[in-house]
Amino acid sequence: PVARSAAPSASSGRAAAAPHGTGWQSGGASKYLSTGYTIKFYDKKSADWLAPYVKKSAADLQRVTALPVKVDTRPVGWDYVRPKGEILVGVLHRPCVPPADGGSQGWKVVRDGSGSKNLSCGFYASSVADTVTSGHAYIDDEFLTSAGKPAPSMGETYFRNHISHELGHTMGLAHANRSATRGDCVKGSDSGQFPVMCTPTNAYQDKRAGTYVQQYDMQGLRHLARGGGAVLPPQGKVTGIGRKCLDVKGGKAANGTQIQIFTCNSGPGQSWIPQQDGTVRALGKCLDNYRNASTNGNKISLYDCNGGASQRWKINAKGQIVHVASGKVLDVKGGSTADGTKVQLHAANTYKRQIWVTPT
């Protein structure tokens, strides 16, 4: 089946002009609740089948927005009236009925299976002006087997992205297409992929595991979280010797891509987020000490975030970026300031090639 999805619509209080950026669009809201959200399930089947994917997406949503995003697997029933701060998710057979014009207004949700084939949908409500106050999403069971596993035509990662796409709608994000043309989403140099929030027939088909959002989707989430007063981890350039920037070679998010220094520019390969969990992220992936080795000269690259010791860093008072497990630091090989000089692991010393200015 081809994954299809509804764009979000607000039940009330919709902003006059939706904020947006390159590669992401808001459905109309401009901020989140400062108290965060709890995702619940309509029935036990929905919880059993969807919770593993919802939990992974919720963890990423919480990390990106710096707001609480909890998951409660206790079923609430199909007639449950959600309060402010709750998002409900359920599995139904063909639950979504799109409007005749294919737009974002006039969608219907049905429980009798009379909706469109291969179509899931998600919506947000805005009972407080300009704010995502709650949401609800419905996943078509045609994307799953009778045992509740992703259909072979989708696979695990594609299905996780499908769930994440619908949760994105419940969190106020619209389809990321730049116009009504379904194939014109921004394919980012950050990942080489379309945003998760792109129209699904064009999005997340690469099946890349390990991340809920691409760089562009993340910017939309950060914008809405900032509007709600969230204190976000800083994002920006990391500058070092010769005023050169810490750079993902070629702006490529492939696992193992070498980290280097390069003349500072506006590319996403130089946009870093030092997280509270000790990771340093760019392009939706993590700064990684290859195989967690402690040898001087060990490769520093980009890799899928995995929670391992190879991806835990701290920034000390001297401005060194310290690999926690080894105690060694990021070092510009040979102290060269030439574009393309590799960044490596090395024992700490007093040379300028180990001093970095990080986003604040």
**In order of start, what are the domains of the chain with their CATH numbers?**
20-227 (3.40.390.10), 241-354 (2.80.10.50)
Per the CB < 8 A criterion, the answer to whether 64 and 257 are in contact is: no
What per-residue confidence (pLDDT) applies to 12?
40
Any residues with CB less than 8 A from the CB of 160 and at least 6 apart, and which? 53, 56, 57, 212
10-residue mean pLDDT profile of the chain (360 residues): values are 52 56 86 98 99 94 94 98 98 96 85 96 95 98 97 86 92 85 67 72 52 68 95 96 97 91 93 94 92 98 94 98 99 98 98 97
- For 266, other C-beta atoms within 10 Å of its C-beta total 7
pTM, two decimals, is 0.86
What per-residue confidence (pLDDT) applies to 213?
53
Residue type, 166: E
What per-residue confidence (pLDDT) applies to 203?
55
User: Using CA atoms, how far apart are residues 54 and 58, in angstroms rounded to an integer?
Assistant: 6
Tokens 């990021």, residue?
Answer: 330
What per-residue confidence (pLDDT) applies to 200?
63
What per-residue confidence (pLDDT) applies to 191?
54
Tokens 């946009």, residue?
Answer: 271
